[in-house]
Amino acid sequence: MRDDLHMALRSIEAVLFPGVDVELERLTVGPEIVLVEVVACGPPPRCSGCGIPGRRRHSAYWRTLAERPFAGRKFAIRLRVCRFFCDRAGYRRTTFVEQVPGLSERYVRSCVGLKQWLRAVAAELGGRAGERLCRKLSITAGRTRLLGLLEAPDAPDRAPRVLGVDEFAFRRGRTYGTVLVDVETGSVVDVLPDRTSETFAAWLREHPGAEIICRDRATAYTRAIKEAAPGAIEVADRWYLLQNLSAAVEKTCHQHRSCLRKHVEQEEPPSEPPVIDLPVPELPRTPLVERTRARYADVYRLLEQKWTISDIARHLDLDRKTVRRFKTTPLDELLASAKDFGIHKARLLEPFKPYLNSRFTAGSTSGTLLFREIQERGYTGSIQVVRRHLAKLREGTAEPVRADIPSPRRITSWIMRPRETLSDREVEKLLDVRIACPDIAHACDLARCFRDLLVNRRGGMLPEWIRQAEQDAPAPVHSFAGFLRQDLAAVTAGLTLEWSSGKVEGNVNRIKTLKRAMYGRASFRLLRIRILTQL
């Protein structure tokens, strides 16, 4: 009977403590907790201070260690360990306690396996969310203990061969940090507390070895690379190049919208219900329009006083890009943008305006009645949009119903997308736009040529493309070409080499998820640890 019990204990020991130098003495299973008593039986331990093996035993005592839950119950281990004398003469420590490798550590009341679990929970979920998960797993661990287990790994002594750098926002529009990524492996190398050139340059000096650096168009990173790693090849990100070109094409479409309207008005009107021409509307005095007027006046007043864009941004509490937009964009265009803000909500009403105008002229002015009538004809918007349109009809400020003209953003989408992804209807509409405006047609040809250079990695042909764009392209595309010439080496590398900032952007999105899960309460140290420890 004793032999059977001994064999059962050895079998349980092999399952619970594989490869651990302990001997199982007792197993107690309760309704809420499983308790095992084990005795350390390994070779004589070494002193943690001097490293000399212990030969003389001082005493023995029991330690209680928390372990990972077992069969839905809490699991605790009572471990009997010995205390030994330290035989090194003159050493300050007289005794030390043996530790069981793979099971116990000094000053820790949990097993090594449970500690690894808690560290993984803290890295994935953080403090409060990790505490809630531990409670459901029958593990006693508060958020302070979880966060205390996190330690940032040491940054490598040398930078990776292909380094990616990009910014991310702690608080959008106010404070930013920098993430450094090994582009070849996709892993985060380090996180910096700001996005200044001085901080990045100092990091590059402390961690040499980067041969290729992928970056966006930020001048701070360019300045740091030229200062601290002049031999590295800079690679401009291709996505940002397409984004900047798309913005230039869209601005061209904005500037030549009158050409499209004139072309449509010259065509034979379709056999639709008669269009009611109403008085030309005055610009509504909405808060957004008035704020746009005031900001435009403030920006130009300070520009006339020779203020820099940075000084104006700080004085007016605006972003530098906003100040630059007010400086380079005409007031009429800014006011049109402000007037059309949120216009997408009212676009559902556009096909039904001729019917509403005709019914209103015939004497039917009830918003509810007209709403029901157009709802039966397929309208899916809200009644408030209908009532606002009827109010403008009463005041005489509604715009006349005109033929459908594609928006600049939609035209830009047709131009920037591959030709094979366009439907026959979109190809036909884009052809009409090209016929209506030669400048948009030229911008379309240049944009598609640039996209072909990017997709097929023909960076060597970029100078010729820039020369053509600077020669006779519309003003926004001409400015884009000049911007490329200022950063020609990096852009050429971006259009030639295989490397890009795609993996960097993926890590930036992951950082956004971590930052939002922490609700902005955590310090930079904790955020950096979670970024570097989370796989």
525-527-532-534 Cα dihedral, nearest 10 degrees? 140
* pLDDT in the model for residue 162: 93
* pLDDT in the model for residue 199: 92
For residue 527, what are the CA distances in angstroms to 156, 172, 181, 521?
19, 16, 16, 10
- CA dist., res. 527 & res. 170, Å (int): 10
* pLDDT in the model for residue 450: 92
Q: The tokens of 319 are what?
A: 């972003």
Q: Which residues pair with 70 in a beta bridge?
A: 73
- CA dist., res. 33 & res. 18, Å (int): 21
- CA dist., res. 150 & res. 10, Å (int): 36
- CA dist., res. 525 & res. 533, Å (int): 12
Only one residue has tokens 């039904």, namely 352
* pLDDT in the model for residue 272: 45
User: Taking Cα atoms as reference points, which of 56, 57, 49 lies closest to residue 81?
Assistant: 57
- CA dist., res. 210 & res. 4, Å (int): 65
Residues 6+ apart with CB under 8 A from 267: 403
Strands 162-171 and 212-215: parallel
Strands 22-29 and 33-40: antiparallel
* pLDDT in the model for residue 212: 92
**Prediction pTM value:** 0.62
Instruction: Tell how far CA 57 is from the center of its chain.
Output: 58
* pLDDT in the model for residue 372: 87
- CA dist., res. 454 & res. 448, Å (int): 10
* pLDDT in the model for residue 181: 93
Rg (CA), the chain: 35
Question: From first to last of its 535 residues, what are the pLDDT tens digits of the chain?
Answer: 556 666 766 777 777 777 788 888 888 888 888 888 888 888 888 887 777 788 888 888 898 888 888 877 888 888 888 888 887 776 777 888 888 888 888 888 888 888 888 888 888 887 888 888 888 888 888 888 888 888 777 778 888 999 999 998 888 878 899 999 999 998 899 999 998 999 999 999 999 989 999 988 778 888 999 999 988 999 998 888 999 999 999 999 888 888 877 766 665 444 444 443 433 445 556 677 788 888 888 888 888 888 899 889 888 888 888 888 888 888 877 776 665 555 555 567 777 887 887 787 777 888 888 888 888 887 878 888 888 888 887 776 655 555 567 888 889 999 999 988 989 888 988 898 888 888 999 999 999 999 999 888 888 899 999 999 888 889 999 999 988 888 888 898 888 988 888 889 898 998 888 888 776 667 788 888 888 887 5
Decide if 472 contacts 438 (C-beta within 8 A): no
User: Taking Cα atoms as reference points, which of 53, 24, 52 lies closest to residue 37?
Assistant: 24
* pLDDT in the model for residue 274: 43
* pLDDT in the model for residue 233: 92
- CA dist., res. 514 & res. 503, Å (int): 17
Decide if 201 contacts 224 (C-beta within 8 A): yes
- Ordered by where they begin, the domains of the chain are 2-109 (no CATH), 162-237+503-533 (3.30.420.10), 261-395 (no CATH), 406-494 (no CATH)
